[in-house]
A and B are shown apart, each in its own frame.
Chain A
Amino acid sequence: MYQEEFLPVVFNIRFSSNQALPVEKWRSRIQDVLHLYVNQICKDDNRMIGHIKALAQIDEKDFIKFSCVGNSNAINSNFHGNHQDLFDINVIINSLVSNISEKESHVFLERSCQTMIKRDSEIKIQINAKHDRQSNHHHHGDGNDCPICHGHHH
């Protein structure tokens, strides 16, 4: 089933700087990291991006949302809130890609962050991976296959 093709991986990344930077600069740098990440994924034709989305949390109400669909490497972003200068910004990435392991995803993201740090010495980036394999918990009776997916879970 197509559901099992896509591996969900969640990353928590912290972008920081010694000086307060405008939101637009953070937006651009996060977008660059996502571009680098997507570029590496797309090098293998067998991989398919289901959806890579990210949420950069500026404060309790303000955020930037990023979205990448397919292998075209076009990353859309929407800013919601007020422009301000920030010392750091937390980003959650939810990556749904086929034919890739969690380890590979992590390596690609780490490389992308390293490249960004080399390009812009003003910023620091720290990745925290979150393990998010879906639970195989069933509700349709012990020993019985799911009548819909027949046991093919994530």
Chain B
Amino acid sequence: MSINCWGTKRGILMCNKNRELLSDRPPVILFSGFLGSGKTTMLLKTIEMLSAADKKCAIIINEIGEVGIDNRQMRMMGYDVLDLFGGCVCCTMKVTLEATVNHLLEDYEDLDYILFEPSGMANPLSLYPAIMNCGYREEEIQNVFVFDPTRIALYQKRMNQLFNDSINLAKCVVINKLDQVNQSEIETAVKMVETIRPGLKTYKMNLNEALSQELHQYL
């Protein structure tokens, strides 16, 4: 396997606030989206795609719970994973994430990409400062928001702020699980995105199948 995954335990490395910004940083692809939206599936598809192109990637996964399911799955699939358990998804993880990204930038110079899948409970807004403290500008973070259209009502009623924040930060939206919703629900999902960010690119697909050619090219 040409891809390795890394993470660090909380607090192992701290960044030097005065460190110079890197001019040739590997792009960060952030997979955002609520619990169960399909982020891990999207991450795995992206790894497959980048692996086929012989790209070297670091993968950061944050899961809620003492025992991670996704990182175990990745280990079993042959990836080398160190866990990133960060306690509170917002504040504690901010420091851990910053240390992890700095570690990757300093110790792995030949990285092509950093792929980051936060917990579905994390608001992406709370993750940006940590990444930006590592020298990234907001526009350099390729935030792919995975939208589960089976949970439209949840987003509209209970997770409205999270949805707004997510869409405002996203570079594109993947509307997943097309096989589980009807056309009207898909249209509602698109409209919800367009209401917040007119013109934001949306891709409609079933991530259990394959990345669409269009998204493939975008990534």
Interface residues of A (CB under 8 A from B): 2-3, 6, 8-10, 12, 48, 50-51, 53-55, 57, 60-63, 65, 67-70, 72, 74, 76, 78, 80, 92, 94, 96, 130-132, 134-140, 146-149, 153-154
Assess whether B162 is interfacial by the CB under 8 Å rule: yes
Contact yes or no, A50 B69, CB < 8 A: no
Contact yes or no, A80 B87, CB < 8 A: no
Contact yes or no, B76 A80, CB < 8 A: yes
Assess whether B52 is interfacial by the CB under 8 Å rule: no
Complex: A54 Cα to B148 Cα, angstroms = 19
Closest Cβ of chain B: how far from A10's Cβ, in Å? Answer: 5
What chain B residues lie within 8 Å of A132 (beta carbons)? 65-67
Contact yes or no, B120 A149, CB < 8 A: no
Complex: A144 Cα to B90 Cα, angstroms = 15
Complex: A63 Cα to B154 Cα, angstroms = 31
- Mark each residue of chain B from 77 to 121: 1 if its CB lies under 8 Å from any CB of chain A, else 0: 110000000011111101100000000000000000000000011
Given contacts A92-B72, A149-B91, 14 further A-B contacts (CB under 8 A): A8-B65, A55-B72, A57-B76, A62-B76, A94-B64, A94-B67, A96-B35, A130-B66, A132-B66, A134-B87, A138-B88, A148-B90, A148-B123, A149-B88
What chain A residues lie within 8 Å of B73 (beta carbons)? 55, 63, 65, 80
Complex: A12 Cα to B67 Cα, angstroms = 9
Closest Cβ of chain A: how far from B33's Cβ, in Å? Answer: 11
Given contacts A70-B150, A134-B64, A139-B95, contact A92 B88 (CB under 8 A): no
Contact yes or no, B72 A134, CB < 8 A: no
- Mark each residue of chain B from 48 to 74: 1 if its CB lies under 8 Å from any CB of chain A, else 0: 000000000000000111111100110
- Mark each residue of chain B from 205 to 218: 1 if its CB lies under 8 Å from any CB of chain A, else 0: 00010000000000
Contact yes or no, B91 A139, CB < 8 A: yes
Assess whether B22 is interfacial by the CB under 8 Å rule: no
